[in-house]
Amino acid sequence: MISQNFKIDICKKTRKIAKDTLLKTLKDVLSSNKRTSEADLRDLWLNEMRKNSNLFSDGWYIPPPHGLIVLFGSDKKVERLDLKSARPKNMWPKKNTFLDRENGLISVYASPIDRSSGIIGDFGLTIYLGKKKKIQDHLRNVFDINKKGFSKIKIGMKLSDVSKFYLEITSKKRLVNDVSSLSDPMGTNIGHSIPGVYDKWTQREKGKFKKGKSTDVANTISKKRFYVNDSSKVKIQPGLAFTIEARL
């Protein structure tokens, strides 16, 4: 039987693959003078991840296609990054939205899946290429809020308590989490569980992974999650893995 610590290590390694392949892709893109669209960056990143045989070919967060989000904006035009959901087609990576190399904002997310265990390694971040202090300070502020909130999480707490104290911290900073979730009955949340770490896959679910059809694998993982929201009565136990995605 695989231990929970080993499963958490799988999650970390899967996230690291997403991180390392993004770094390589961005280095290649930014060292070139070639005009780069959202769809270009998405495809380049996807191709790098697909070189790793430990991952399924697509992520679990579908739609958007392949389980990847790539959105471009700038410090003069931030609207595209101010999204409620990445599910609608108009929020999928576009071929005619191009990177601003001087003042650009880049929002990226990947949802890779470890092939052997079905454990996910969600990874995302916002990158700013410009020099406007207000935006730099905001990104630092969000990072500090995440660290402050994480330091308060303790064994035995309910996930609803985690959600509430994060919202208290953010409201004091005059920030909001305005993202909606179609799969969460509450409509919004600040994160979700990582299935297959604390809970176990059923034989039927394992069968879906074995067949490897992207949509079936994605649906299996999506439906297995529970959420970090104001109504969750789930208590944090050793080995329980969940994300914090306040999206401020």
* pLDDT tens readout for residues 99-113: 999 999 999 999 999
Identify the pLDDT of residue 188. Answer: 65
Q: Is it the case that residue 206 has pLDDT exceeding 90?
A: yes
pLDDT confidence of 187, banded at 50, 70, 90?
A: low
On average, the pLDDT of the chain sits at 92
Q: Is it the case that residue 155 has pLDDT exceeding 60?
A: yes
Closest CA to 181 of 221, 222, 124, 122: 222
- What average pLDDT score do residues 198-224 get? 95
Identify the pLDDT of residue 167. Answer: 86
Q: Is it the case that residue 114 has pLDDT exceeding 70?
A: yes
Identify the pLDDT of residue 224. Answer: 95
Q: Which of 67-71, 74-78, 163-167, 216-220 shows the lowest per-residue confidence on average (mean pLDDT)?
A: 163-167
Closest CA to 123 of 240, 25, 231, 2: 25
- For residue 232 the two structure tokens come to 């969750």
Q: According to CATH, what is the number of the domain 4-131?
A: 3.90.230.10
Identify the pLDDT of residue 186. Answer: 53
pLDDT confidence of 38, banded at 50, 70, 90?
A: very high
> CA 243, 178, 93, 210: dihedral to nearest 10 degrees?
30
- What average pLDDT score do residues 196-224 get? 95
Q: Which of 7-11, 160-164, 173-177, 202-206 shows the lowest per-residue confidence on average (mean pLDDT)?
A: 173-177
- For residue 27 the two structure tokens come to 């280095």
> CA 68, 76, 135, 142: dihedral to nearest 10 degrees?
-40
